[in-house]
Amino acid sequence: MNLIDRYIHEVGRYIPRRKRGDLLEELRSSLGDTLEDRYGEEPSESQIEDLLKEMGRPREVAASYYPQSQYLVGPALYPLFRMVAWIVVAAVLGAQVLAWGIGLFLAGETYAVLDMISSLVNSVPNALGWVLLTFMVLQYFDAKPYLEEESWDPGKLPAIEPDQEVNRGETIVGLVFGILFLVMVSFFPQWIGFITAPGGKFYPNPVILDNSLLIQIALMVGVGFNLILLWRNRWELTTRLLRIILNIYNVFVLGLLVNDHTRWLAARGSGGLLDGLAAIEGLAEGGWELVGLHAFRWAFLVALIVTSIEILVSIYRLVRNQLKKDFSVRDAVVKIE
Amino acid sequence: MMINNTQSEQYQKLTQELRRGVLVLAALSQLQEEKYGYALISRLAEKGLDIEQGTIYPLLRRLEEQGLLVSEWNVEGSRPRRYYQLSEQGDEVLQDLAEDWRQLTQVMEFLLKDGGN
């Protein structure tokens, strides 16, 4: 029944988690009934394949539970559309709140509640409109998120490997924050810095201002990568390799940032990693910039270490998966012989 | 050859649309007693109405969401099965739809015989 498990698992990937259990259980039960009725209690692998061919591609089976007539966005694109729409709404809301927060914090600007609501009423439908328009164009050109061969072959269903599942929540959070940071770095780089106290003096970070282009590229590529990951919805050789390359670039940018912070700090006689502690003692004399830059350097250093570890883990997983594949091919050959 | 293929595709689409319209009534008519999905498909096929599995299950879900059917899992057989049956509201809707259907078939019979003359 392995093929049935794989089929059901694959259908489940296109169905929202909360609806999945019950619906897949019924699908399993109906497949069992059909097989038993047609071929008796122990159907052969090829008989199961025939039934699955008849049932149709997993994506189509899942889409049949979400009927849409006269598609602006059809069943093939709809799950992705729904997800991107949510992400965009979250990012727009986040950017709006961030803009208000910064305005309030830095400039002491206050906003009337009605103004805030009216700007949301404008910005959210506006953003959703653009998403819809984009997907209508994709629909018009019949774009499909998956490259499909002409005929649907159940034998080629991927194995169930939890390792290859994309953690959608994590990816979406990454995407939302990526877009938020990108908006910040692109449009308000002068607002990235530190503040002495609410309403107090604000110091922009000079190193970030100097390197904003490199940071923008890293964030943009990161957003693009997360979109590809959601689109493919599975870790594959290409996505794993892409992630490693992207992370190597990130390490390069983070290394540069740490280095430039060190240079800036060293020029002020506070280059050592632990000089930050001495700088805190100097706060009373107004040494805010030193403390701020030390804090930024620590943050980038931690990010650098985490990203480096991530690269190693990604390489390990890549190698392990490739080895596993080789083994399963060898096992199959032994069995045939 | 091309024309024939296009015509038969066209015919298939039209006949599918026609069947889709009566599917709700057909399913409701057979669920006065509880049945699970595959039993309903077999029953309809036995009576001459072939329906694909991919059509019936989403339909049953939709009818249940609309309150026309109720369902429950039964785990006593060889495998767990979800049994569907008409709700009170579903029963009333079935009576109304059946009446509409009878009138419609009379009108259609007349229209087809009449041929617009």
CB contact under 8 A, A64 and B81: no
**Nearest Cα residue in chain A from B59:** A65
pLDDT at residue B80 tops 60? yes
Average pLDDT, chain B: 89
Residue B84 lies in a domain: yes
**Nearest Cα residue in chain A from B83:** A26
Count CB atoms within 10 A of the CB of residue A195. 14
The count of C-alpha atoms lying within 13 angstroms of the C-alpha of B61, restricted to the half-sphere facing its C-beta, is 18
What domain count does chain B have?
Answer: 1
- Residue A253 has φ and ψ, to the nearest 5°, of -65, -45
pLDDT at residue B3 tops 60? no
Identify the pLDDT of residue A142.
Answer: 65
**Chain B nearest CA to A30, separation (Å):** 6
Residues of A at the B interface, defined by Cβ within 8 angstroms: 22-23, 25-30, 32-34, 36-37, 55-56, 60-61, 64-65, 67
Q: What is the CATH number of the domain that holds B75?
A: 1.10.10.10
All residues of chain B having their beta carbon less than 8 Å from the beta carbon of residue A42 are: none
Q: CA-to-CA distance for A288 and A291, rounded, in angstroms?
A: 5
| B interface test, pick of A26, A42, A60 with most B CB neighbours within 10 Å | A26
Query: A73: which 2 tokens?
Result: 């966005």
What Rg do the C-alpha atoms of chain A give, in angstroms? 26
User: Which value, to the nearest 10 degrees, does the dihedral of the CA atoms of residues A10, A14, A16, A17 take?
Assistant: 20
Identify the pLDDT of residue A84.
Answer: 81
Q: DSSP per residue over A84-149, as a string?
A: HHHHHHHHHHHHHHHHHHHIIIII-----HHHHHHHHHHHHHHHHHHHHHHHHHHHHTT--SS---
B58 interface with A at CB cutoff 8 Å: yes
| Residue A16 region by backbone torsions, left for phi larger than 0, else alpha for psi between -120 and 50, else beta | beta
Structural domain span for residue B39:
20-114
All residues of chain B having their beta carbon less than 8 Å from the beta carbon of residue A25 are: 73, 80, 82
- State the ipTM, two decimals: 0.82
B113 interface with A at CB cutoff 8 Å: no
Identify the pLDDT of residue B41.
Answer: 93
Residue B1 lies in a domain: no
Residue B2 lies in a domain: no
CB contact under 8 A, B79 and A29: yes
Residue B65 lies in a domain: yes
CB contact under 8 A, A26 and B62: no
Assess contact for A96 and A119: CB atoms under 8 A. Answer: yes
A168-187 and A212-232 are packed helices; what angle lies between their axes, rounded to 10 degrees? Answer: 150
The lowest-confidence range among A159-168, A240-249, B58-67, B101-110 is A159-168
What is the 8-class DSSP label of residue A157? P
CB contact under 8 A, B42 and A37: yes
Regarding predicted confidence, which is higher, B74 or A170? B74
**Nearest Cα residue in chain A from B81:** A29
Count CB atoms within 10 A of the CB of residue A103. 14
Nearest to A221 by CA among A167, A181, A173: A181
**Nearest Cα residue in chain A from B38:** A30
Identify the pLDDT of residue A335.
Answer: 46
Identify the pLDDT of residue B81.
Answer: 92
Q: How many residues does chain A have?
A: 337
Q: Give CA angle at A15 (A83, B68), nearest 5°.
A: 115
All residues of chain B having their beta carbon less than 8 Å from the beta carbon of residue A61 are: 54
Burial class from Cβ neighbours inside 10 Å (0-12, 13-18, 19+) for residue A320 reads: exposed
What percent of chain B clears pLDDT 90, i.e. is strictly above it?
A: 62
pLDDT at residue B64 tops 50? yes
B57 interface with A at CB cutoff 8 Å: yes
B50 interface with A at CB cutoff 8 Å: no
B38 interface with A at CB cutoff 8 Å: yes
Identify the pLDDT of residue A312.
Answer: 93
Helix (H) or strand (E) holding B72: strand B69-74
| A interface test, pick of B64, B66, B78, B79 with most A CB neighbours within 10 Å | B79
CB contact under 8 A, B61 and A23: yes
Checking B49-57 for CB contacts under 8 A at 24+ apart, the result is B49/B19, B51/B19, B51/B23, B51/B26, B53/A30, B53/A34, B53/A55, B54/A55, B54/A56, B54/A60, B54/A61, B54/A64, B55/A64, B55/B20, B55/B23, B56/B27, B57/A26, B57/A27, B57/A30, B57/A64, B57/A65
All residues of chain B having their beta carbon less than 8 Å from the beta carbon of residue A67 are: 58, 62
Task: Dump pLDDT digits (tens) for B7-49.
Answer: 788 888 888 888 888 999 999 999 999 999 999 999 999 999 9
Q: How many CB pairs under 8 A join A and B?
A: 49
**Nearest Cα residue in chain B from A19:** B61
CB contact under 8 A, B58 and A32: no
**Chain A nearest CA to B57, separation (Å):** 8
For the sheet with B35-36, list strands across it.
B35-36, B81-86, B69-74
The count of C-alpha atoms lying within 13 angstroms of the C-alpha of A68, restricted to the half-sphere facing its C-beta, is 14
Identify the pLDDT of residue A163.
Answer: 67
CB contact under 8 A, B36 and A33: yes
Q: Is B105 helix (H, G, I), strand (E, B) or coil?
A: helix
Burial class from Cβ neighbours inside 10 Å (0-12, 13-18, 19+) for residue A75 reads: middle
User: Which value, to the nearest 10 degrees, does the dihedral of the CA atoms of residues A222, A223, A224, A225 take?
Assistant: 50
**Nearest Cα residue in chain B from A66:** B58
Q: DSSP per residue over A266-286, as a string?
A: HHTT--STTHHHHHHHGGGGT
All residues of chain B having their beta carbon less than 8 Å from the beta carbon of residue A65 are: 57-58, 61
Query: A203: which 2 tokens?
Result: 């110091």
Identify the pLDDT of residue A336.
Answer: 45
pLDDT at residue B71 tops 90? yes
Residue B4 lies in a domain: no
Residue B105 lies in a domain: yes
Residue B7 lies in a domain: no
Written as tens digits, the pLDDT of chain A (337 aa) is: 589 999 998 888 777 777 788 889 999 999 999 999 888 888 898 999 999 998 888 888 887 886 544 467 766 677 778 878 888 787 778 777 777 776 666 656 666 667 777 777 887 888 888 888 888 887 777 666 555 556 778 877 877 766 677 787 888 888 888 888 888 888 777 778 777 665 667 788 888 888 889 999 999 999 889 888 887 777 888 888 999 999 999 999 999 999 999 998 888 888 787 777 777 777 666 677 888 888 899 999 999 999 999 999 989 888 887 777 655 544 544 444 4
Nearest to A190 by CA among A178, A208, A177: A208
Identify the pLDDT of residue A337.
Answer: 41
Residue B9 lies in a domain: no
pTM of the model: 0.56
CA B11 to chain centre: 20
